[in-house]
Structure formats: C-alpha cells, structure tokens
C-alpha cells in the first residue's frame, strides 16, 4: 500500500475538510481559527481565510463554487467569496458554538447548527436570517440538505435525527435508531440514502424512501464524520486511528487505512473518487489515492 500524501495543514486539530465540486481544491479548517485552500494538482497552499476569533469547526462550498461558508466556536457564520477569499458577510445570531454549516443545493441559503440547540437558515445574498428551526435538543453537531433541496436533517446530543421540509421549515419527523448522540448525518449525492454516525459506535444507512434502516455497521471505535462516494455505492467514516470505506449494498469493507494518531475528525472523498482525505488531531491532512485516474486517449 502506498503511503499517503501528507499536508501540514493546521497548527492544531483539523476540524473539517472537503473537496470542491470541480475537484480543483481541497478546503480545510481547524482549531487554529483558520480556513486553508489547497490545490489538488500539487497540494500547494493557495489561500488562507482569516477572520474567525476561535476554532473553525465546519466549512461548506456552494454548488456554483462562488461562496464558502464557515462556522466557528466564536458563535458566528462567515460567508466568503470564492476563490478570492473576500469576506462577504458575518452572520451573528447563535449564542454558542456553530458546529456545522451547509449550503442549500441552489446556493441561495446557508444553514447553521449550533450548540445553542438551534438551526438557522440565512439568505446568502443579503446575509439576513430567514428561519430558525425548533423541535431540537442540545448541541447540534451536523446538518445536511437533501440533493433535491426538499429536506433538511440535523443531529447532535440526543439520539434522534430531526427532519424538516425545506424551504417551509415544517417539521416532519424524528428518526430514531441511535442510542446516545449523533455526531454526523449526511445525504448521499443521489438522495437515495441518509447516513449517520452515533456515539455508540455505529454507522447507519437509511433509505430516504421510507426512512427505514438499510444497514447498521458496528465500528471499532468512536467515529466523527462520514462521506459518500459520488457514485453513491460506498461510504467512508473517520474513526480513531483510521478511516474505513464500505460497500453500501453489501456492508463489506472496501478499503481501510490506519493512522498514527487517535483523533481522526473528518473525511472527504473527491468527486472523481480518486482521492480520500482525512484530517486529524495532529493538524495534518493525509490523502490516499484510492482510484487510478482514467487513461488519456
């Protein structure tokens, strides 16, 4: 097995990473209050976004690639022009840590989830708050829009996942199954699956047709993040000391990698399915090539 490419990305924990939809950059954020942008061609640093006064916990990119959003322990959400990195808006309204941010599929709105127990919806152009979603418990850790923009889910402390209709904000249901708390929840790119990770060390995949459980995988340690491959066939999870990828239909492990560090907090698979990247407590991002590039004709 080839060793990973290693980027010395942050001076403290790496909180979140993601590949841009055009596969040109890898975006990372960390507990050093910074968001960094790296070229996928050579893994060189392209830009650093300054402005948050505490840990940057989550980063999202709009589908059109024109804006980034970041959520921080300083209780703010920031919207940045991309690729310039110019700060467009600072969104204030949460009372505690903003743990998670996500753009709606059209890029018109950004949602933020906070340890104050609220999910807020903001207009990206004006920077104004449009909606605050209730029915929640404490500490929202993860939110996700369905690819068709019809649903929004959130999970955190408390063992249920909350589901709303979007953009109306009408509460639909609580999805049960985890035993303690939900650390991550996300839709697959085609919207067929909803993946979630619980503190009780399970990864669950549910069908969005009826929200019933399709697959439950027992993990060997606590996990913090998950990501689906762009072909909707596999799911990866960041666990202590490693990362695992499973086939969704069979539940069998497809790939696994070990790390020399306990805290592995975030995972992202590139849209081309060529690269798998993880961020960890040592401030490093490790990238494996999991699929060979197509042969040039």
Per-residue pLDDT tens digits for 214-242: 999 999 898 999 999 999 999 999 999 99
Q: In this predicted model, what pLDDT tens digit does every residue of 86-145 receive, in sequence order?
A: 999 999 999 999 999 999 999 999 999 999 999 999 999 999 999 999 767 679 999 999
**pLDDT mean across residues, the chain:** 94
Range 286-292 average pLDDT: 93
Alpha carbon distance 122, 259 (integer Å): 37
Q: Please state, in angstroms and as integers, the Cα–Cα distance from residue 293 to each residue in 61, 122, 195, 289, following that order.
A: 24, 38, 27, 9
Range 273-289 average pLDDT: 97
pLDDT, residue 297, reads: 58
Selection from 131, 132, 74, 82 nearest residue 107 by Cα: 82
258: its two tokens? 């070990």
Q: In this predicted model, what pLDDT tens digit does every residue of 136-172 receive, in sequence order?
A: 767 999 999 999 999 999 998 888 899 999 999 999 9
Domain ranges of the chain: 51-133
Q: What fold does the segment set 51-133 form as a domain?
A: Thrombin, subunit H (2.40.10)
Q: Examine the pLDDT at 25 and tell me if it is beyond 80.
A: yes
183: its two tokens? 């650390």
What's the distance, CA 252 to chain centroid? Answer: 23
pLDDT, residue 296, reads: 64
- DSSP conformational letter for 13: -
Q: Which residues are CB-contacts of 95 (< 8 A; sequence separation ≥ 6)? A: 75, 114, 116
**Other Cβ atoms within 10 Å of 241 Cβ, number:** 15
Q: Give the chain's length.
A: 297
């Amino acid at each position: 097995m080839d060793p990973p490419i290693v980027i010395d990305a942050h001076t403290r924990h790496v909180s979140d990473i993601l590949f841009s939809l055009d596969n040109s950059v890898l975006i990372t954020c960390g507990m050093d209050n910074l968001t960094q942008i790296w070229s996928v061609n050579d893994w060189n640093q392209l830009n650093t976004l300054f402005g948050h006064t505490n840990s940057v916990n989550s980063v999202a990119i709009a589908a059109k690639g024109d804006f980034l959003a970041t959520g921080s322990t300083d209780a703010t959400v920031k919207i940045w022009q991309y690729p310039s990195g110019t700060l467009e808006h600072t969104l204030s309204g949460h009372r505690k840590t903003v743990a998670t941010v996500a753009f709606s599929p059209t890029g018109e709105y950004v949602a933020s989830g906070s340890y104050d127990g609220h999910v807020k919806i903001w207009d990206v152009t004006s920077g104004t708050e449009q909606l605050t979603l209730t029915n929640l418990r404490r500490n929202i850790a993860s939110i996700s829009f369905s690819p068709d923009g019809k649903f929004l889910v959130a999970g955190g402390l408390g063992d249920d996942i909350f589901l709303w209709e979007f953009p109306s904000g009408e509460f639909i249901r609580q999805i049960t199954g985890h035993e303690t708390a939900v650390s991550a929840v996300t839709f697959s790119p085609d919207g067929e699956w909803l993946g979630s990770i619980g503190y009780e060390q399970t990864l669950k995949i549910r069908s969005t047709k009826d929200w019933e459980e399709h697959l439950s995988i027992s993990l060997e340690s606590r996990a913090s993040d998950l990501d689906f491959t762009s072909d909707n066939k596999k799911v990866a999870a960041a666990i202590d000391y490693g990362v695992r990828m499973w086939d969704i239909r069979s539940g069998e492990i497809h790939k696994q990698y070990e790390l020399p560090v306990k805290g592995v907090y975030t995972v992202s698979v590139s849209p081309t399915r060529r690269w798998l990247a993880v961020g960890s407590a040592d401030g490093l991002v490790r990238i494996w090539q999991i699929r060979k590039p197509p042969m040039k004709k």
